[in-house]
């Protein structure tokens, strides 16, 4: 769930090429408008590994069934393959879970999207120009609040990058994270711009607790995870472990040197992400969640419309952000709903067509190369394999850059 600035600090040169492997498919299936097999998607994954990613895991669910693919390795020491049941940290894909819980609470009449943050969290959003009495819950969820992003705070950024080895097991409370953001000026007046801010979703999690009387984690567990039977999805809180089975997660932290040390960052205290990005899941669970979400199985009609009502994402032409999900139109004209997520050693993507019938989920277990999510989406939904491994431009690039 790291913001783009933290993501930039984690990007460096690539490692030597690794051997690639592929899992067998559960169904052979034509894909996208190209009408071909998933071989083009597999080829993009293998190219990413040749470019330096330790390993990539992917799953597609469409009218023909389920396809599982992988390239590279789950563990640089043992060289075992990545497996469909492997768990990983999903980062900011967590935001769709939190947004859904808040929309459910609105449907129950327990809060309103246009309620001011000050009503629910008096005195919390205050200082250096921040004013919770002018910021709505809606503006938190679509990133139009102007609230400063705490992962851009120099002190926190240092602890997440160069200071990670010393701080990886530190516990951060939501109040501490918001307080760090309040030390800086807002990015703009509420409603007068768009800027991705993890602080927005930490605040959203705090509002869930105030409105429901229970933690955002317990509400997410009850309302989404248990309801959909997402048995491999967990909210770890302050626990540093990833439930088995799982591979390893790797990072070079801030180094850009080609021969920089690769750190095993699998174990960490994810409380610094909290409601903005702490969740652990699998490709299968993410596909099930996105399918249910886009089919309207989690929200009443009015709240579903709110979820998918978008605002422009800054200066990126055609880019759109709803409430915890973004929209992009691919080269073949297919519109998809998606979110990406990044946390130490893990970069993930979940996406779906508007009808929920074609979903995809991918995970990289290294964070020092720019994930080619645009290329994976184009090949999977449009059946075309873009040249090289550069991500698609424009709106798609903006949508797949969110962490």
- By CB atoms closer than 10 A (0-12, 13-18, 19+), residue 100 is buried
User: Residues with Cβ < 8 Å from 332, sequence gap 6 or more?
Assistant: 32, 33, 34, 381, 382, 383, 384
In angstroms, how far is CA 340 from the centroid of its own chain?
Answer: 4
φ, ψ of residue 124 in degrees (nearest 5): -80, -45
- The strand pair at 359-364 and 55-62 is best described as antiparallel
**Is-contact 128 183, C-beta < 8 A?**
yes
User: Is the preceding peptide bond at 245 cis, omega within 30 degrees of 0?
Assistant: yes
Type and span of the H or E element at 242 = none
Phi/psi at 326 (5° precision): -120, 165
Collapsed DSSP state (helix, strand, coil) of residue 340: strand
- Name residue 57's beta-bridge partners: 70, 363
Question: Is the separation of the CB atoms in 293 and 94 below 8 Å?
Answer: no
- The secondary structure element, H or E, covering residue 88 is strand 88-89
Q: Any idea what the Cα angle at residue 122 is, between residues 120 and 127, rounded to 5°? A: 130
CB burial of residue 49 (10 Å; 0-12, 13-18, 19+): buried
Q: Determine whether 92 is an active site residue.
A: yes
Residue of 70, 92, 251, 347 marked catalytic: 92
Q: Find out whether 3 and 196 touch, Cβ atoms under 8 Å.
A: yes
The residues annotated with a catalytic role in the active site are: 92
């Amino acid at each position: 769930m790291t913001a783009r600035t933290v993501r930039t600090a984690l990007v460096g040169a690539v490692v030597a090429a690794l051997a690639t492997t592929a899992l067998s498919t559960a169904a052979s299936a034509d894909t996208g408008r190209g009408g071909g097999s998933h071989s083009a998607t597999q080829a993009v994954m293998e190219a990413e590994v040749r470019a330096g990613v330790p390993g990539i895991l992917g799953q597609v669910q469409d009218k023909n069934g389920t396809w599982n693919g992988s390239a590279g390795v789950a563990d640089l020491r043992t060289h075992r393959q990545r497996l469909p049941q492997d768990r990983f940290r999903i980062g900011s894909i967590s935001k769709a879970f939190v947004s859904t819980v808040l929309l459910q609470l609105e449907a129950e009449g327990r809060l309103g999207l246009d309620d001011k943050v000050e009503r629910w969290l008096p005195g919390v959003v205050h200082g250096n120009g921040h004013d919770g009495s002018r910021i709505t819950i809606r503006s938190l969820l679509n990133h139009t609040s102007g609230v400063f992003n705490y992962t851009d705070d120099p002190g926190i950024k240092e602890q997440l990058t160069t200071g990670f080895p010393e701080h990886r097991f530190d516990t951060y409370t939501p109040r501490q994270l918001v307080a760090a953001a309040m030390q800086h000026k807002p990015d703009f007046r509420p409603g007068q711009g768009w800027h991705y801010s993890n602080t927005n979703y930490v605040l959203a999690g705090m509002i869930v607790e105030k409105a429901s009387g229970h933690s955002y984690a317990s509400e997410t567990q009850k309302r989404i995870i248990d309801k959909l039977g997402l048995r491999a999805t967990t909210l770890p809180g302050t626990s540093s472990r990833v439930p088995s089975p799982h591979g390893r997660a790797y990072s070079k932290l801030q180094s850009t040197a080609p021969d920089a040390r690769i750190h095993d960052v699998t174990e960490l205290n994810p409380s610094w992400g909290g409601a903005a990005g702490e969740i652990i899941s699998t490709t299968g669970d993410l596909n099930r969640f996105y399918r249910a979400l886009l089919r309207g199985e989690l929200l009443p009609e009015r709240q579903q419309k709110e979820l998918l009502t978008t605002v422009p994402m800054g200066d990126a032409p055609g880019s759109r952000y709803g409430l915890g999900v973004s929209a992009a139109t691919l080269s073949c004209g297919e519109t998809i709903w998606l979110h990406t997520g990044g946390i130490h050693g893990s970069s993930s993507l979940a996406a779906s067509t508007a009808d929920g019938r074609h979903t995809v989920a991918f995970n990289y277990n290294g964070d020092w190369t720019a994930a080619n999510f645009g290329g994976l989406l184009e090949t999977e939904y449009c059946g075309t394999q873009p040249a090289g491994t550069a991500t698609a431009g424009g709106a798609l690039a903006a949508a797949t850059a969110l962490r």
